[in-house]
Each structure stands twice: as structure tokens, then as C-alpha cells.
Chain A
Amino acid sequence: MELDYDFMISDFPTVLAGLPKTLVLTFWSMLWALIIAIVFGSVILSRVPVAKQIVVALNTFIKGVPLTVQLLFCYYAVPFVCKWLDSIGVYDFNPRHIPYFPAAVVAIACNFGAYITDVVVSSVKAVDRGQTESAAAVGMTPLQTVVRIILPQATVISIPSMTNYFIWLLKGTSLASIINVAEMLITAQISAADGYQYLEAYVDAAIIYWAVCAAIEFGCDKLYKRVGFFMQPSRA
């Protein structure tokens, strides 16, 4: 195959320079997704009458719509929101500098928040019921039970699924390239545009994504083995 290997090697640092932006986007999206998931998960778990049905319906709808549509929706909605926010607080509307980065964060966070809600709910439900009862038996208040008994165990149980969604999210940030957020894929695209060496640039990007995802998977696996020691069946 006629690949421009020299370009591929010389372009590698250029593409790699886009990685921090991807990671920042991943970080903020994951953070907000977790916040959304924890709030939604608590609502579902605590069975708040009307709010639970609303949250479930919202989750179902978000999961039924492609991330691409959500991204485009947020992208096109941003100017309206910006105009509406004009001169509220310190924000000053400027049509030439519309912040598309937050739009991507909102779209990705909402999408993955819906998925991670399921992880939160199922992890909490996976904690053995006996644990709650024991906590009550030794005289803990419900709040203490949640904070000291359920949350630590549920967190550990959720690590494998969280890792999966974390990797999905990292890969999902590449879709933000369609709404002009300058992450790694866009960087690769721009660097390749001069000589139409798209394939080489995309190979570079693919290698970097692959390496990062493999590293995350490896790291989270190690973490799970480290903190999940109590999950192993006892050899009694």
C-alpha cells in the first residue's frame, strides 16, 4: 500500500498534540455524566413518587436518540442560549466566539449520564441486602449506612462497568469533531488537509486512541484488583 510513511511519522506529534484536548473533553463530560448519573440514580433508588417516573422517561428518551443528533442539537441550540444569557452576569454575547466546547460537554454528559445511571442503580442493588440489615442491627442511622456501608461497596462493584463507559465516552468524544470542537480527530484532519494525506493522519489518530484506551483498561483493571479484594470468594 502506498502510504506516505515519512508524513505519518512526522505528523504523529501534531496529532498527539490534540490528545490533551480530547482528554479535557473526556474529563469534563465524565464528571458531569457522573453527577447526572448519581442524581438520577438516587432519585430512582429512593423512589421519589413523580420524579422517578420523569427520570426514567427522560433516560429512556436520551438512550433512544443517537449521540450525533444530541451533539448537533446542542450545537445548533448554543447561539439561542448564548443570546438569551447575554448581559446576565459577566457574560457578553459575541457572535464570532460562540463556545462550542460546553455544547459538546452537555451533549456527551447527558447521553452517558443516562447510561451510567443504570450502572449506579444496578451497583447499589448488587450490594448484599444482609449488609444493610447488619448496619441497622449495629445501630447505624440510614445516612451512616449509605455513606459507610453501601457507597464504598457499590463504588467497587461499579468499576468494571464504569471502565467500559469511560472508554466508550473517550471514543465518543471523537464525534465532537462534527461540531467543530478542536479535539484530536479534528487536529488530524487539519494536519492532513494540505497534502490530502488523510489516511496517514487517521492511522496516527487510531493508534493513539488505541493506546489510550488500552492504557485506561489496563489501569482500571489493576485498580479493580487492588480495591476489590473483598469481592473475591473467601477460601474458608
Chain B
Amino acid sequence: MPSDLMQTVVPGLIEHIPITLVYWFVPSVLSLLFGTLLCIVRVGRHNVLYWICTIYISFFRGTPGIVQIYLVFFGLPKLFWIFGIDINDWSAGIYFIIATTMNLSCFMCETLRGGYVGVDKGQIETGLSIGFSRTQNFFRVIVPQTLKVAILNLKNLEIDVLKDTSVAFTIGAVEMLGYAKGVIAASYGSGQLWILGAAAVIYFVMCTVLEIVFTLISHRMERYERRVA
């Protein structure tokens, strides 16, 4: 192992972890919101809005993430240009976050919908019958039970999103892998396998931590189940 190279590269990789985490966290939070909204439309009546959302979801699930990133990167400035707004000087990271949010919302919606379908309908009726308002019923009855069913799929989804941040370098947003690629290019490809190996280990550690956190959350959510059983 070329130790002098690793001494400079590994701290550099670690310095870029926060950027990777931002590219993971911001889309996750935003798409939890948008995904919930999409899900509410998708489980409701089959009106025009339902079909628009269905086509939107089908598109984002049927095309590769990298194509969506390119579409947003090249398409959004043109779209804003119609309204006379110039967003060409936005940094690439913002485009990446927008594209990932649009993509993840669809997957989030489908995951939550799967969880919602798994909720006993009697629970919802019971909630209404004991006098919860619709908002109260949503937050106190539907959300906890939906999340409990969906949490395992959510875990897989979040791990995928964390890993997919590594695609951001294709549009020039420098996160961890972008930095690694930069170092490899600057040193004309020497020691590339070691640099990528170090990046792989860091990604693996981050994914493991995420997995452990989600497992703890899901154990906590299932605490009522175990008491009955």
C-alpha cells in the first residue's frame, strides 16, 4: 500500500463525507414530505390528479437515475429561462438534490403505499369512531402503523440513496467519490485501486451505521407487537 498517498487521500475523503451526507439527507427529508403527498393522492380516488401522479411515478421508476440527473441538469435551466429566471450559476449539487428528490419521492410513495395497504382498515374506522378528527387520525393512527410496515423497505431505500450520491460527480458535484476521481485524475491514475478501495470501505461503514440505526428504530416501533405476543 502506498502509505504516503493514503496519508493525504484518506483525510481528504473523510473531509468530503459531510457533503455526501448532505446529498443524502436533504433529498431524504424532502422526499419524505413529497412522497407522503404523492401517496395520499395515489391511495385516493381515481381522478385526474391520480393519473398525473401515476404517470409521473411510472416515468421516474422506469428511467435510470443518471438520465434523470442529466435531464434536470440540462432541462431545468431551460425551463426557468421561460420565466426569465437565470439559474445557470446554481451549483451542480443543487441540481443533484432536485433530481434525487424527484426520483426518491416516487419510490418513497410506493413504499409508503405498500405500508398503507398493509394497515388494517378497521384501525382507521376505529380512530374515526372514537372521535379523532381526520388530521388526528392521520398522525396518530395511520402514520405510525404505515411506518411500522414500511420501515424495512425504507431502510433499503435510504441505503440505496446514500450509495446513489456517488453518481453526483457525473454532473460535477464534488462529493466523496468525486474527490477520489479528482485525485486519481491528478496523479495520472497511480494508486487508483487503493483510493477506490478506501472510498469503498468508507461507504460500507456509512451503510452499516445506517442499517444499524434503522434496525434500532424498527425494533422500537415493534415494541407493542412483542408485548402482545
Chain A residues packing against B (C-beta within 8 Å): 1-3, 61, 63-70, 72-73, 76-77, 80, 167, 171-175, 177-178, 185, 198-199, 202-203, 205-206, 209-210, 213-214, 217
Contact = CB atoms under 8 A, between A and B. Distances in A.
Interface stretch (B39-47, B56-64, B86-94): B56-64
Given A72-B181, A73-B200, A206-B67, A213 B207 contact: no
A66 B63 CA distance: 18
Contact of A73 (B63, B170, B196): B196
A77 B197 CA distance: 11
B148 interface: no
Interface in B168-185: 170, 177, 181, 184
A34 to B, nearest CB: 20
Contacts of A69: 166, 177, 196, 199-200, 203
B127 interface: no
A174 B170 CA distance: 12
Contacts of B159: 63-64
A69 B203 CA distance: 9
B71 A185 contact: no
**Is the interface on chain B under 10, 10 to 19, 20 to 34, or 35 or more residues?**
35 or more
Most buried by A among B62, B159, B181, B197: B62
B163 interface: yes
B118 interface: no
9 contacts: A61-B204, A64-B159, A64-B203, A66-B166, A66-B203, A68-B167, A72-B196, A177-B66, A205-B67
B16 interface: no
Contacts of A205: 67
Interface of B: 58-59, 61-68, 70-71, 74-75, 78-79, 81-82, 159, 163-167, 170, 177, 181, 184, 189, 192-193, 196-197, 199-200, 203-205, 207-208
Contacts of A70: 200
B contacts with A: majority SS: helix
A65 B204 contact: yes
A15 B174 CA distance: 29
A206 B78 contact: no
Given A73-B197, A199-B71, A210 B177 contact: no
Nearest to B210: A64
A175 B203 contact: no
B82 A1 contact: yes
Nearest to B162: A66
- 10 nearest A-B residue pairs (beta carbon): A174-B64, A64-B204, A66-B163, A64-B207, A213-B62, A171-B64, A66-B166, A199-B74, A68-B166, A210-B62
Contacts of B163: 64-68
Contact of B63 (A3, A80, A209): A209
Nearest to B203: A65
B68 A76 contact: no
B30 to A, nearest CB: 21
A186 to B, nearest CB: 11
Contacts of A63: 159, 207
B164 to A, nearest CB: 7
Most buried by A among B82, B189, B200, B205: B200
A175 B167 contact: yes
Contacts of B65: 171
A56 to B, nearest CB: 14
Nearest to A170: B64
B62 A202 contact: no
Given A76-B192, A76-B196, 17 more contacts: A2-B82, A61-B204, A63-B159, A66-B163, A66-B177, A68-B177, A69-B166, A70-B200, A76-B193, A80-B193, A175-B167, A177-B66, A178-B170, A202-B70, A202-B74, A206-B71, A209-B64
